[in-house]
Each structure stands twice: as C-alpha cells, then as structure tokens.
Amino acid sequence: MKNTKQMIRSLLYIVVGVFLTVACKTSPPQKTDTPSEPDRPVSKSKPSWLLQKPQSSSYYQGIGNASMSDPDYQQTARNEALDDLSAEISVNISSTSLLYQLDIGDRFREEYQNAIKAEVNQLVEGHELVDSWQDGQMYWTFYRLSKAEHQRRIDEKKNTALEKGLDFYDKALTSLDNKNYTLAISYFTQTLAAIENYLGENTTITYKGQSILLANEAYSGLKNTLNGIRFHGPDKVTVRQRSENSENLTIEARFNDDNKVTGFPAIVTGAVSGRNGLRKTTDTKGHFLIAQREMVTESKSLHIEANLRKLNSTRSKLIEAIIDKLPAPKKEILIEAKTLTMFIESDENNLGKTLNRTVINGMLVGALSQKGIVFAENKAEADLIIKISSDTRKGSELSGLFTTFLDVDVNIIDNNTNKELYADAIYDLKGIQLSYEKAGLKAYQDARERIEKELAPEILKNLY
C-alpha cells in the first residue's frame, strides 16, 4: 500500500511539471485585428524586445504600454504600439511630384504630410501581435507589420486613385476639344482632387500609350486653360446715378480672344453695390451684364476676376491652396462718375391763381443744393426734371380767422427717356390768416420745414 501511494504521488508531480513547462512556453506571433490579448503571467525578467527595440528590414515594429489600473489597458497599449509602428513609416515629397515644384508654403506641405500620416494609420491592418508582457502593474505589447504587405496595400489604393484621376483628365481634354473651357477646368480640378493624397509622390501613369505624370499634366492643363481666357469690355465707363439713359455694362469671356467661354464664374468688386461684390456667370454667349444700378461712384474702378474657387468642388485646403496659386483672368475698368444735373419746372398756385413768385421751387433748390445737387440753367442741359404742382384750397372760417390747405405734388422725370423715376406728395399743409388768400400764402411759408426735412431727403434717398 505504501509503495502504491508513493507511485501515485510521483506520477502527479510528473504531470504537473509537464503542464507547467508547456504553459510557460512563449506563443508564436499571430495576426490580429482585435484588441483581445491573453494576460501573461507575472515575470521578473523583462523580454529582450522590451530591453531594446528590435530592428528589422522586413517589418515596421511598435511597442506600447499601459497601466493595468486602466480598465481598457490592453486596448490602450495596443493603440500606443500601433502609433509607434506608424511612426516608422516615413512620408517624403518626391522631387518629381507636383508639390515639390509648386511654392505653396510650408504650412500646406505640413498639412499634406499630416493627411498622408492619417492615411497611413488607416492602412496598418494586417499587423501581427508578436508578444506581450506584464509585471502586475504595467502591461506592454509588441506589434509588427510586414513592409511588403503594407506597400502592396498602398500601391493598390494609389493605383485606384490614379485610374480615377486619369478618367477625369481624359474628360478634361475632351472638353477642351469641344471648346467647353469651364467644364475642362472643372475636370482638371477633379483630377487633382482624385489624387490629392499622392500629389507629393511620383504620379506616373500610362495614357494613350505614353507615360505621363498625371498630377503635373493636370496642373499644366488647368494653368494653360486659364491663361487663355480673357475678359473683354470697355476700359472706361461713365456712371450716372439713376439715369435711365445709362446702359448696362457687358463683359465677355473669350478663349484665345476667339472662342466664347460659357458658364464661367466671376467676382466683380470695387465700384459696385454690396460689401462682398457681385457674383456673375457668363451666359450661353459668353457674356454677363453689370447693370448701372449695381455700380456706385465711391470707387474709381471696377475689378473683374475669375472666381476659381467656385470651380473647385472639393473642400480640401491643399487643393484650394494650389488653385489660389493659379493665374486668374482679370480686368480693370476705370469709372468716370458724372453728377446728375436737375432742372425744376414749377406750377405753383394759390386758390387756383398762379403765384407771382414761386415758393416751393426756391425751397427745394436750396435744400438739394446743400446736399451737392447741381441745377442746370436750362431744361435741355439737365439729366432730370423735377416737376412741382401745388395749389391751395379753402378750409373753414371761425371768428374772422380763415383756414386754407396746401397740397404739393412732385414728379421726377428722366429728361432723355421722359420716364418717371420718382413721385411724392405732401397734403393738407395748413395756413391761418385774416383771409383765405393770405391763409394760402401762410401755408406756403410754413411748408419750408416739411420740404427740407421730408421731401428733399426722400428725393435724395430714391435717386442716389
């Protein structure tokens, strides 16, 4: 019996020893796309990869750690390891790339590199968990990514983008052949947007049997198309406020001074109404109009410039920076401001009888002259005619005091077209005196305040 017990005890020792030996062996590297990792037993000796980060020509490698007091310490350590791994993947700007050739500033180059870094971080799937280790308080994890596999994924995504960009590029050239220049510009822009993440790289691709740098060719096509577009119009224009005889200003966009450019957006600033200028687009004839009512005389010129950002369908700061560097078609038109001259025709009556001396006429001339209005000496020289028609009517009589009411009608006519531009009236201006006739004259005299404070400002407001 005693020998049997000893044999059983010895057998148990052997089984436990074998189990512990198998359990303590390090598991081989495994591919993983999940943060789940087995907890390792506490060990006092750190693994070699933690003492010194290994170097490899075949793998990108990363090590991360986290406190085990963190409820999600495995995920935290994994994220840190992948960040460390991604930092080994360099992002350089090729000397044959479009960005290398363009002077778009260091800030935008940095934005490009950051954007590519973010793209790289999204392409680290396929990483492998090499090992993990913990000492009871801290947890470390070790990941690696095959350089060959990573480059294959990068190339695959780049080739897809290049093919997409090449399709836009082909459409741009077709649009140029069809003389649809605005559409061609849009397609050139979309070409750059399709390969935005590779503008710092070599973008060689085969097109119709020839090898081309797609980004560079798209940019050159865009630049050359814009260089060929010109705005045509007068070099100088006369602006008159509210003159119906003034004509609208016609601007035409043409390519190589010959072919019309339709649907082309422009911004007009300077001597125009509105704080942000006017947004215009050429019609089917390649024209757009600037109405006289849209122009002002505070500035001495009109500045017309192509609205390139409207042709850019992407919100990318990088593409926007590239487009801003392009030579936008422009035109400057000098503004000659001509002051409108006025002439007053006055028919003023008191109880149906013509006044010997006009009253409203003098009041209105005085009020408007103080505001800079020029009056012509005769009707033929005037731009505008102010017609005044006024008369008084009897009111009541009380205890020997007579009341009379004055009515005044004002019309402003364009002297060239005979078209009415403005009409206003003042009614029931009261005058009280010892007779109806004197009360009528009193009403005329008391009208000054209403003429100066109401009628004259309204005329200026509506004409200027």
The whole-number pLDDT of residue 257 equals 86
Asked if 353 and 457 sit in the same domain, the reply is yes
Asked if 167 and 245 sit in the same domain, the reply is no
Beta strands in 185-277 (DSSP E): 204-207, 210-213, 229-232, 236-240, 249-255, 259-260, 265-270
Burial 135-170 (b: 16+ CB within 10 A, else e): eeeebbbbbbbbeeebeebbeeebeebbeebbebbe
> Average pLDDT, stretch 54-62?
93
pLDDT tens for 312-371 read 877 777 888 888 888 899 999 998 877 778 999 999 999 999 999 999 999 999 988 887
pLDDT above 60 (res 245) = no
Asked if 201 and 171 sit in the same domain, the reply is yes
Asked if 274 and 364 sit in the same domain, the reply is no
Angstrom distance (rounded) from CA 94 to CA 139: 40
The whole-number pLDDT of residue 2 equals 42
> Is residue 431 a part of any domain in this protein?
yes
> Is residue 124 a part of any domain in this protein?
no
pLDDT above 80 (res 157) = yes
Residue type at 286? G
Decide: residue 42, CB within 10 A, 0-12 exposed, 13-18 middle, 19+ buried: exposed
pLDDT above 80 (res 204) = yes
pLDDT above 60 (res 96) = yes
In what helix (H) or strand (E) does residue 65 lie, and over which residues does it extend? Answer: strand 59-67
The whole-number pLDDT of residue 174 equals 98
DSSP assignment of 402-446 equals EEEEEEEEEEEEETTT--EEEEEEEEEEEEEESSHHHHHHHHHHH
Asked if 449 and 355 sit in the same domain, the reply is yes
pLDDT above 80 (res 75) = yes
Asked if 215 and 196 sit in the same domain, the reply is yes
Q: Residue 237 forms beta bridges with which residues?
A: 335
> Is residue 160 a part of any domain in this protein?
yes
Angstrom distance (rounded) from CA 458 to CA 375: 18
Highest mean predicted confidence (pLDDT) among 3-17, 164-178, 289-303, 353-367: 164-178
CATH, residue 404 = 3.30.160.150
Let me know: does 333 contact 302? Beta carbons within 8 Å. yes
> Is residue 220 a part of any domain in this protein?
yes
Q: Where is pLDDT greater, at 35 or 378?
A: 378
Q: Where is pLDDT greater, at 73 or 320?
A: 73
Q: Where is pLDDT greater, at 447 or 94?
A: 447
Q: Of 95-109, 174-188, 391-405, which gets the smallest average pLDDT? A: 95-109
> Average pLDDT, stretch 58-67?
95
Asked if 251 and 277 sit in the same domain, the reply is yes
pLDDT above 50 (res 1) = no
Q: Where is pLDDT greater, at 154 or 129?
A: 129
Count up the domains in the chain and report the number.
3
pLDDT tens for 426-440 read 999 999 999 999 999
pLDDT bracket for residue 31 (50, 70, 90): very low
Q: State which of 338, 357, 377 marks the end of a domain.
A: 338
The total number of residues written for the chain in this structure: 464
pLDDT above 60 (res 89) = yes
| φ and ψ of 211, to 5 deg | -85, 125
Asked if 347 and 458 sit in the same domain, the reply is yes
Helix axes of 147-177 and 181-194: crossing angle, nearest 10 degrees? 180
> Is residue 374 a part of any domain in this protein?
yes
The whole-number pLDDT of residue 91 equals 66
Let me know: does 140 contact 132? Beta carbons within 8 Å. yes
pLDDT above 70 (res 15) = no
pLDDT bracket for residue 115 (50, 70, 90): low
pLDDT tens for 205-227 read 999 999 999 999 999 999 999 99
> Average pLDDT, stretch 305-313?
88
Report DSSP state, residue 291.
Answer: -
Q: What's the half-sphere exposure (Cβ side, CA atoms, 13 Å) at 356?
A: 1
Q: Which structure tokens are listed for 28?
A: 């081989």
Angstrom distance (rounded) from CA 365 to CA 357: 14
The reported pTM is 0.65
CATH, residue 257 = 2.60.40
pLDDT bracket for residue 276 (50, 70, 90): confident
C-alpha distance across the termini of the chain, in Å: 125
Angstrom distance (rounded) from CA 188 to CA 175: 10
> Is residue 394 a part of any domain in this protein?
yes
Let me know: does 394 contact 351? Beta carbons within 8 Å. yes
Highest mean predicted confidence (pLDDT) among 41-50, 142-151, 243-252: 142-151
Q: Which residues, 6+ apart, have CB-to-CB distance to 251 below 8 Å?
A: 231, 232, 233, 266, 280, 287, 288, 289, 290, 304, 331
Q: State which of 228, 262, 291 marks the end of a domain.
A: 228
Asked if 446 and 397 sit in the same domain, the reply is yes
Average pLDDT, the chain: 84
> Average pLDDT, stretch 113-137?
77
Q: Where are the alpha helices (DSSP H) in 56-105?
A: 73-87, 98-101
Angstrom distance (rounded) from CA 410 to CA 398: 32
> Is residue 133 a part of any domain in this protein?
no
The whole-number pLDDT of residue 309 equals 87
pLDDT bracket for residue 246 (50, 70, 90): low
Asked if 245 and 189 sit in the same domain, the reply is no
Let me know: does 164 contact 185? Beta carbons within 8 Å. no
Radius of gyration of the chain (CA): 43
pLDDT bracket for residue 374 (50, 70, 90): confident
> Is residue 41 a part of any domain in this protein?
no
DSSP assignment of 97-125 equals SHHHHS---HHHHHHHHHHHHHHHHTT-T
| 265-270/236-240 β-pairing | unpaired
Angstrom distance (rounded) from CA 204 to CA 197: 14
Q: State which of 318, 338, 358 marks the end of a domain.
A: 338
Asked if 441 and 350 sit in the same domain, the reply is yes
CATH, residue 160 = 1.20.58
Task: From 196, 227, 211, select the one nearest 97 (Cα to Cα).
Answer: 196
> Which residue segment(s) compose the domain that 403 sits in?
341-463
In what helix (H) or strand (E) does residue 67 lie, and over which residues does it extend? Answer: strand 59-67
Residue type at 70? D
Asked if 365 and 440 sit in the same domain, the reply is yes
